[in-house]
Amino acid sequence: GENVEQHPSTLSVQEGDSAVIKCTYSDSASNYFPWYKQELGKRPQLIIDIRSNVGEKKDQRIAVTLNKTAKHFSLHITETQPEDSAVYFCAASLNYGQNFVFGPGTRLSVLP
Amino acid sequence: DAGVIQSPRHEVTEMGQEVTLRCKLISGHNSLFWYRQTMMRGLELLIYFNNNVPIDDSGMPEDRFSAKMPNASFSTLKIQPSEPRDSAVYFCASPYANTGELFFGEGSRLTVL
């Protein structure tokens, strides 16, 4: 089955700096890669996603890149703000809507 | 988001008791996932259903856990008998049929004493 790894497990950055979180997956058939943000005590919520026919996608300060050959994808957050502090999860899915497998998560702390 | 509704939000029970967690889908969903979240193991996929049929239950930890989806909008996750190590937040999630975006319910926080 699919296995998703995620690094780093914790990340601290100064406000205004950039943050990068990286994930790898094992099943080359996976074709949908969402990223979720989970604030303390709340449910995970989708912040951005990318499908396998696209190499990069951007939404304001957030961007995701995908390298299908290497089977890895990354989340980039620019101009970080304290409200970006949360746990971020990557996931891989086959034929989106099937068998979402999540990475272990990255705890991001943005220091004022 | 009102698309996925879980109950109860919090449950405290004693070891050995039966626990039933519920998940209701409002509309526009065709699959359902149950996840367990703990600090140690993160988000673990327990089981997922497609068109009410269990597709993959390899994540169900042991026979004490069972899940059903009797119709397209409702599912239950049952633990019998419960043990302290079952304490966790249990999430139900479902993708919108049109986009595949996975929506999570607000979770059920289970504490087994």
The distance of B96 to chain A (nearest Cα, Å) reads 8
**pLDDT score, position B56:** 86
Q: Using an 8 Å CB-CB cutoff, list residues of chain B that contact chain A.
A: 30-31, 33, 35, 42-43, 45, 48, 50, 55-56, 58, 91, 93, 95, 97, 99-107
Average pLDDT over residues B104-108: 96
Structure token digits, residue A27: 């099943």
Model pLDDT for residues B16-66, shown as the tens digit of each residue: 999 999 999 987 677 899 999 998 888 999 999 988 899 888 889 889 999
Torsion A92-A95-A96-A101 (CA) sign: negative
Is pLDDT of B2 > 60?
no
Neighbours of A57 (CB within 10 A): 15
Model pLDDT for residues A83-101, shown as the tens digit of each residue: 999 999 999 988 756 778 8
The separation between the first and the last C-alpha atoms of chain B, rounded to the nearest angstrom, is 31
Structure token digits, residue A112: 């004022």
Average pLDDT over residues B81-110: 91
Which of A36, A89, A94, A98 to mutate to test binding with chain B, by most B CBs within 10 Å of its CB?
Answer: A98
A91 touching B (Cβ < 8 Å)? yes
Which bin fits A52, alpha (ψ -120 to 50), beta or left (φ > 0)?
A: alpha
User: Comparing A88 with B97, which gets the higher pLDDT?
Assistant: A88
Cβ within 8 Å, pair B104-A44: yes
SS (H, E, C) chain A: CCCEEEECCEEEEECCCCEEEEEEECCCCCCEEEEEEECCCCCCEEEEEEECCCCEEEECCEEEEEECCCCEEEEEECCCCHHHCEEEEEEEEECCCEEEEECCCEEEEEEC
Is pLDDT of B1 > 60?
no
Contacts of A1 in chain B (CB under 8 A): 56, 58
**pLDDT score, position A15:** 97
Average pLDDT over residues B82-110: 91
pLDDT below 50 — which residues of chain A? none
A29: Cα within 13 Å, side-chain hemisphere: 7
Q: Which of B30, B58, B104 comes nearest A97 by C-beta?
A: B30
The distance of A34 to chain B (nearest Cα, Å) reads 8
In degrees, to the nearest 5, what angle opens at C-alpha B13 toward C-alphas B25 and B69? 25
Cβ within 8 Å, pair A99-B95: no
Spatial separation of the C-alpha atoms in residues B113 and B107, rounded to whole Å: 19
**pLDDT score, position A67:** 94
Contacts of B43 in chain A (CB under 8 A): 44, 89, 102, 105
**pLDDT score, position B96:** 79
